[in-house]
Structure 1
């Protein structure tokens, strides 16, 4: 059996509590667990601090960093090559990949078709967000330095392997686990970011991207379950759930277990996608649990580019 990994999903938030990744004190206190005594009653209640505003372009650049990561992963899996110089933009960082990387040796042509389609989708997302930032009088950040070998230590942390040998490019099932990591991250990150966007055109585009990420997530979940059913072997479901447990530890949120009876990652009460704050997403992609001031690590060895790049808690 091939060794696997996986990462990410949710946590409820409101528009006014999303700014943990942008540095709000309220979110920091909630996540870190900082406690303070309730203030003594006073004739005039202390006013609630006004949350910091996060410009749309800062949110878009945060999303762009994640799309760069997804695009690189899928392009390498599908073609053995990453983003072009033009798509990575001037000043782009390098991408660390496993030795002798090549396109995944697919079990059949159907899997190759899936990978190629998702790779093109993620590349189109990169281009769309870059264009949206430019149209909104901003400057899209270039691709940051990325590390696609970080799956290996994550697999050890999740209890999937005992040595850092997992490689999502080794085979079809390895690829599915790697993809499972990123697609659930994308869905929950867009769910969390959408309420902060003020430009309706940008919000509409973000909602459309999230919908595609959700299609991808369901596709990957279905393929993992389908493999388990076809082989009467739930090894890969168990591996995916180990990854869910790890990302829940790193980034909080309510994880939805992958099973043959349900592949939809949704709040069981309201049937809506879970949300993650920027802070929670940063902890997952940096591969580190709670702690303020974390600005790099994991898939982003030098950190994300842009203003939302350091954890608040």
Structure 2
């Protein structure tokens, strides 16, 4: 019998979204394997000259004027989403809160996607990655208290993620990086639609006026997104912006706060 693979090479953005790749990705995470990205997949994220500045106190500063900084910003958000869904799916009462098999499968699939996003960005950034973020466990418990609360907060997280990628994408300087970001945000948008469907009692939530206005999806600048995250009191690791994006900010189409 051949030995199980201990490494995985991802050659293209399309590889990342194949179910077989995701399964291999998650398996390797569980056994301490290594994940390698082809040099042409993720540009401008291999040197040490653009390491994020780590302020005193163990926080992280983001340089939003570089592609590395933009993807560290995305990495921070993916850490939060992965932690949220991992808490939900890993809870002892998961099957009690979600008696519908389809809902459990949906949340488990989204958890797997978010973990892949997080670990993909971490691997791509290498030594330039910001540290793992520490979370407020009291806030996490409140956000995952029951089915209705979980789905409401899942919708808010997904809408915020879509708005964040849409707002930061214009700052990316390398077309290859923009392609990767576009692949990720398309998955986040599917998550947002699926969560809306799970909460929907009217049949109108998929393209509701709160998220699709004038045929355009939500979009928020990084400062507005980070302010929303700060207001949640979810992260105990200080996150600050050392350098703003080079392009002028444009008007936000804010992600709605789910009700």
TM-score by length of 1: 0.52
Alpha-carbon offset, residue 229 of structure 1: 4.3
Matches for 1:64-143 after TM superposition, within 5 Å: 64-80=75-91, 103=94, 105-134=97-126, 139-143=128-132
Alpha-carbon offset, residue 266 of structure 1: 4.4
Secondary structure at the aligned position of 1:146 is classed as coil
Partner Cα separation in structure 2 for residue 77 and residue 261 of structure 1 = 23
Partner Cα separation in structure 1 for residue 132 and residue 206 of structure 2 = 39
Partner Cα separation in structure 1 for residue 237 and residue 117 of structure 2 = 23
Is 2:224 the counterpart of 1:280?
A: yes
Alpha-carbon offset, residue 178 of structure 1: 1.5
Alpha-carbon offset, residue 301 of structure 1: 2.2
Is 2:245 the counterpart of 1:301?
A: no
Question: Structure 1 residues 260 and 279 mapped into 2: Cα distance closer, same or farther (>3 Å)?
Answer: closer
Alpha-carbon offset, residue 216 of structure 1: 0.4
Asked if 1 retains the 8 angstrom alpha-carbon contact of 2:159 and 2:218, the reply is no
Partner Cα separation in structure 2 for residue 122 and residue 181 of structure 1 = 15
Asked if 1 retains the 8 angstrom alpha-carbon contact of 2:89 and 2:108, the reply is yes
Gaps of 5+ in 1: 1-51, 81-100, 153-166, 231-258, 288-296
Match of 2:71 in 1: 60
Match of 2:253 in 1: none
Asked if 2 retains the 8 angstrom alpha-carbon contact of 1:61 and 1:306, the reply is no
Secondary structure at the aligned position of 2:157 is classed as helix
Asked if 2 retains the 8 angstrom alpha-carbon contact of 1:188 and 1:275, the reply is yes
Q: Which of these two proteins has the greater Rg computed from alpha carbons?
A: 1
Question: Structure 1 residues 223 and 215 mapped into 2: Cα distance closer, same or farther (>3 Å)?
Answer: same
C-alpha RMSD of the superposition? 2.8
Match of 1:4 in 2: none
Partner Cα separation in structure 2 for residue 118 and residue 300 of structure 1 = 21
Partner Cα separation in structure 2 for residue 217 and residue 148 of structure 1 = 24
Alpha-carbon offset, residue 306 of structure 1: 7.4
Secondary structure at the aligned position of 1:54 is classed as coil
Partner Cα separation in structure 2 for residue 118 and residue 178 of structure 1 = 14
Paired residues, what number?
181
Secondary structure at the aligned position of 2:238 is classed as coil
Secondary structure at the aligned position of 2:173 is classed as coil
Question: Structure 1 residues 273 and 229 mapped into 2: Cα distance closer, same or farther (>3 Å)?
Answer: closer
Partner Cα separation in structure 2 for residue 75 and residue 308 of structure 1 = 32
Match of 1:171 in 2: 146
- Larger RCO: 1 or 2 (CA < 8 Å, sep 6+): 1
- Which of 236, 252, 263 is the aligned partner of 2:208? 263
- Normalized per residue, the structure richer in helix is 2
Secondary structure at the aligned position of 1:209 is classed as helix
TM-score by length of 2: 0.62
Partner Cα separation in structure 2 for residue 261 and residue 141 of structure 1 = 34
Match of 1:195 in 2: 170
